[in-house]
Structure 1
Amino acid sequence: MSTVTNTLNSWTKQYIGGEWQEGNSQNSYTNKNPFDQSSLVSIKLASIKDIDASYKEAQQAQIHWQQSNPSERADMMKKAAEVVESMREEIVSVLISETGSSVIKANVEVDLAIADIQEFANIPFKMNSEIRSSVIPDKENRVYRFPVGVVGVISPFNFPFYLSMRAIAPALAAGNGVVAKPDLQTYISGGLIIAKVFEKVGLPKGLFNVVVVDIAEIGDTFVEHPIPQVISFTGSTAVGRRIGGLCGKHLKRAALELGGNNVMIVLDDADVNQAASAAVFGKFLHQGQICMSLNRIIVHRNIYNEFVQVFKEKTAMLKAGNPANPEVFIGPLINEGQVNKIKSLVDQSIEQGANCILKGKIEGTFVEPIILTDVTNDMAVAKNELFGPVAAILPVDSEEEAIRIANESDCGLSGAVFTGDVEHGVNVALQVHTGMIHVNDQSVNCEPNIPFGGEKSSGLGRYGGEWSLDEFTTTRWVSVQKVPRPFPF
């Protein structure tokens, strides 16, 4: 494997109080390229002291930011979108080197971030007060919307730039201060490069901070610190449960977008070729390392064999290799631990009776596409979120069976239904217990003005449009008694 050129050795500082500074930890971390394991850059980590300083900086700066003109905050968001576009080449390069993203996926991630920032430029104008009637004579009820104060944002490794920005931008636009803690493996694309974006647009110093930390050193400090009133977390269900529990303990709000076990239901009147194309995209984009990736493909037995054949042919066309090559669609997984987990789930499922009709090569952090057929819902690949390029295809004898199997999961994030009858597809979609589902499309969909989030163990709350406004603001009731009210004493 050829080595990707390292252009990231300038990312060695934390961003605290509007200044680039060295972390106070005694420990350092070396970021590695998942494609060839070459060292990208080393950074001295932040400490608990740095987390405390970041939250205090955000709290102090937020006081003035909350009082700023809505137009100022909106203009800042619009400029941020322009800066991201101007930095596209650099951001894409970082995503390729740091996360193993393909050129296609990296550009999609930048596009999504720009669209979200542009949408969130509307948030400052939605911080409205309203007047409501009262049952008490001559009383006026006023309801005001305020920023919560300071928001802590914890983001994952898979879509780090977008999933960080998805929480950071609306929180800032609503008048909050923000401290971000990106995944250690993707601390540049998930945090520091976003700090550079907002530094370029002239965001007030201290309002946005990024700490690159090791959880083994800081423990739960980032969540338990008394200043942040909302913790936004995107990641695994297991970690989300812990964060949700800590937030409950300290009476903070938690916005949680967690894991998925997403299904595509292919009914017997579906266009097989179109369904297979969509399934390949929804399964293998970014090697399946997306919370919305298809985990179970449920196909009616009347078209099962045909679908499997077409799906296999399309999958075999995918090019794997160096993600810096624009023709490559399948790049590396984030680390070898994830590879070992995938291999274990595949081996268990084969032992349980799954038929492996395509088994790509596994080498280092690379897993080429794997297709398992005759999968049942009790097999390892169906019960667990895969987060890798493994397609599990389940046969069913009826629509009712497909819906039942789809709902036999503790998760409910995204999904898809393919059918020749769109309205019937909607009826089926409404019976699947999930936060998002798409008729005649695949499961990986994001739009800036639509509520994004899951049900059950896939999370709490929604991101996008006015739903993000709800996550990062609070309301206050102020009543005004205009005429003296009679009291019995």
Structure 2
Amino acid sequence: MTLLDSAVWGTRFFSDGWQDAVHAQPVVEPATGNQLATVGLATAEDAGRAAARAAEAQRDWAATSPQRRAAVLRRAGELFTRYAAEVGEWLVREAGSVRSKADFEVGLAVGECFECAALPTHPQGEVLTSEEARWSFARRRPAGVVSVIAPFNFPLILGLRSVAPALALGNAVLLKPDPRTAVSGGVVIARIFEEAGLPPGVLHLLPGDASVGRAVVEAPEVRVVSFTGSTPVGRAIGEQAGRLLKRAHLELGGNNALVVLPGADVGKAASAGAFGSYMHQGQICMTTGRHIVHESLLEEYTAALAAKAAALPVGDPAREDVALGPIIDRRQLERVHGIVTDSVAAGATLVAGGEIVGNGYRATVLSGLTTDMPAWREEIFGPVAPVIGFSTVEEASRIVDDCEYGLSVGILGDVGTAMRLADLIDSGKIHINEQTVGDEPNAPFGGVKASGTGSRFGGAAANVEAFTETQWVTVRPDIADYPF
């Protein structure tokens, strides 16, 4: 039996073992429209029962020794390594990933588990000074039950980066993956932790519709919600959590800028820009959505980027050696094309691409834009690279910040100039002489403005802050004297 044998999970969901689902849906390959399997869907009632069971199981899991919790995380990392090819194949078939992206994502999953294996033995508080004759401590305790709601684009890592640290720190987890990637973003994680020895009831997999999403936020046992996805949905979840006095960690959209400074190597800059805009068909929150190029290099850079785009084949990554796979579904594909055609109709110039190819989209370059055009203002979530010019560092900073999002910025060229520009920019991440897409398990990850609630993912400090509560504890040698 393989890790992902559908005889185990087909038509079921994971909640205290694999439970038969009332409803199921086909798992569809976006490149072909073919059915790969059938996955069970949870209901809002299932989510309510799962939350109650998770709260019960969490108490014993939190009391489990740090070394035992760490061992489960290490084992999970080893299992991701062992089953890397099988997991990667699902990322290719179900999520439309090209193989290099799938391999990268599985590698991130391995690193995430090993990084989080250190969290159970991380210092869990501090000794405080006190004006009284006592010891005073601030200690970190598990938050309790954590709901994780993850998207389709990097389904494995964007779920696991919350699931793994939450479990490591003694929480129970309700995981709701995007139904379009319920296997690679859900079944994979459930099966890995099942095989790694996680006790029953601590992790629940609840694929489903919006009613399930509401249920995993509203369940009274849930104390923290970790959501990665679109800004409109994130706003709604934030409002819902705020009304219920729950913490919501929100990693949302981005319309990320790549600034090419005067004197930059145009060939290398175009390569970086192409990777930033076209990696995984542009379906990444950190995708380079705006290319801001010094006027002295604008024409040369645009031509070089267009040449890169024209050379990138589009197709089915399960059957062809391609650079771009399919867009996740037809609705999103038509949205991408609509943004491009609307911008061209408004006066932009189509330099490369702009074509639907089967269920994919050609790498596209647009020039001659104004900043009010949809291809410049909107998060496209497709392989589209709009290019605009600037003359001074101050102008570049204004163009970068003239955006509702603030997730990631890349700056290419002279480091001194880049440092000066970086100090003027409001962004969760800045990468000098790199493009905008980057992630490491030990690095803080998050955005500002409409991109979310700051760095609540990655690194020990962010993870401990995200998934624990602080409790004040005092100790005296004898009962204190009081005036009553």
SS of residue in 1 equivalent to 2:296? helix
Deviation per CA, 1:389-411, whole angstroms, max 9, x where unpaired? 11101111222111101000110
1:159 aligns with 2:159: no
SS of residue in 2 equivalent to 1:321? coil
Counterparts of 1:391 and 1:59, CA distance in 2: 46
Partners of 2:55 and 2:145 within 8 A in 1 = yes
Letter aligned with residue 147 of structure 1: P
Other-structure match for 1:143? 138
1:77 aligns with 2:76: no
1:120 aligns with 2:113: no
Per the TM alignment, residue 270 of structure 1 is displaced from its structure 2 partner at its CA by 1.1
Partners of 1:13 and 1:20 within 8 A in 2 = no
SS of residue in 2 equivalent to 1:395? strand
Relative to structure 1, the CA distance from residue 266 to residue 186 in structure 2 (aligned partners, 3 Å threshold; closer, same or farther) is same
Partners of 2:14 and 2:190 within 8 A in 1 = no
SS of residue in 1 equivalent to 2:327? coil
1:434 aligns with 2:432: no
Counterparts of 2:9 and 2:288, CA distance in 1: 34
Counterparts of 1:214 and 1:427, CA distance in 2: 46
Other-structure match for 1:464? 458
Relative to structure 1, the CA distance from residue 483 to residue 202 in structure 2 (aligned partners, 3 Å threshold; closer, same or farther) is closer
Please list every run of 5 or more consecutive structure 1 residues that lacks an aligned counterpart in the other structure.
Answer: 1-5
Deviation per CA, 1:272-317, whole angstroms, max 9, x where unpaired? 1111111111110000000000000000111111111111112222
Counterparts of 2:284 and 2:212, CA distance in 1: 27
Per the TM alignment, residue 219 of structure 1 is displaced from its structure 2 partner at its CA by 6.2
Deviation per CA, 1:416-443, whole angstroms, max 9, x where unpaired? 0011x21321221232111001000011
Letter aligned with residue 55 of structure 1: A
1:23 aligns with 2:21: yes
Counterparts of 2:218 and 2:160, CA distance in 1: 22
Counterparts of 1:266 and 1:376, CA distance in 2: 18
Per the TM alignment, residue 360 of structure 1 is displaced from its structure 2 partner at its CA by 4.3
Other-structure match for 1:300? 294
Other-structure match for 2:62? 66
Counterparts of 2:192 and 2:377, CA distance in 1: 40
Which of 125, 143, 152 is the equivalent residue of 1:129? 125
Per the TM alignment, residue 96 of structure 1 is displaced from its structure 2 partner at its CA by 0.8
Deviation per CA, 1:318-337, whole angstroms, max 9, x where unpaired? 12111124631101000011
1:380 aligns with 2:374: yes
Other-structure match for 1:454? 447
Which of 99, 104, 116 is the equivalent residue of 2:95? 99
* Corresponding residue pairs, total: 479
Per the TM alignment, residue 484 of structure 1 is displaced from its structure 2 partner at its CA by 6.1
Other-structure match for 1:341? 335
Which of 189, 201, 207 is the equivalent residue of 1:194? 189
Percent of aligned positions that are identical: 39
Deviation per CA, 1:27-80, whole angstroms, max 9, x where unpaired? 432221100101122234211221112112211111111011111111111111
Query: What is the TM-score of this pair, normalised by structure 2?
Result: 0.95
Other-structure match for 2:411? 417
SS of residue in 2 equivalent to 1:106? helix
1:87 aligns with 2:83: yes
Counterparts of 2:377 and 2:130, CA distance in 1: 52
Per the TM alignment, residue 364 of structure 1 is displaced from its structure 2 partner at its CA by 4.3
Letter aligned with residue 373 of structure 2: M
Please list every run of 5 or more consecutive structure 2 residues that lacks an aligned counterpart in the other structure.
Answer: none
Counterparts of 1:121 and 1:28, CA distance in 2: 34
Which of 164, 167, 172 is the equivalent residue of 2:167? 172
Per the TM alignment, residue 193 of structure 1 is displaced from its structure 2 partner at its CA by 1.1
Per the TM alignment, residue 374 of structure 1 is displaced from its structure 2 partner at its CA by 1.7
Other-structure match for 1:37? 33
Partners of 2:259 and 2:410 within 8 A in 1 = yes
Give the aligned CA root-mean-square deviation in angstroms. Answer: 1.7
More off after superposition, 252-261 vs 462-471 = 462-471
Counterparts of 2:8 and 2:402, CA distance in 1: 48
Partners of 2:316 and 2:325 within 8 A in 1 = yes
Per the TM alignment, residue 132 of structure 1 is displaced from its structure 2 partner at its CA by 0.8
Other-structure match for 1:3? none
Other-structure match for 1:365? 359
Letter aligned with residue 53 of structure 1: R
Other-structure match for 2:401? 407
Partners of 1:127 and 1:146 within 8 A in 2 = no
Query: What is the TM-score of this pair, normalised by structure 1?
Result: 0.95
Which of 269, 284, 298 is the equivalent residue of 1:290? 284
Other-structure match for 1:356? 350
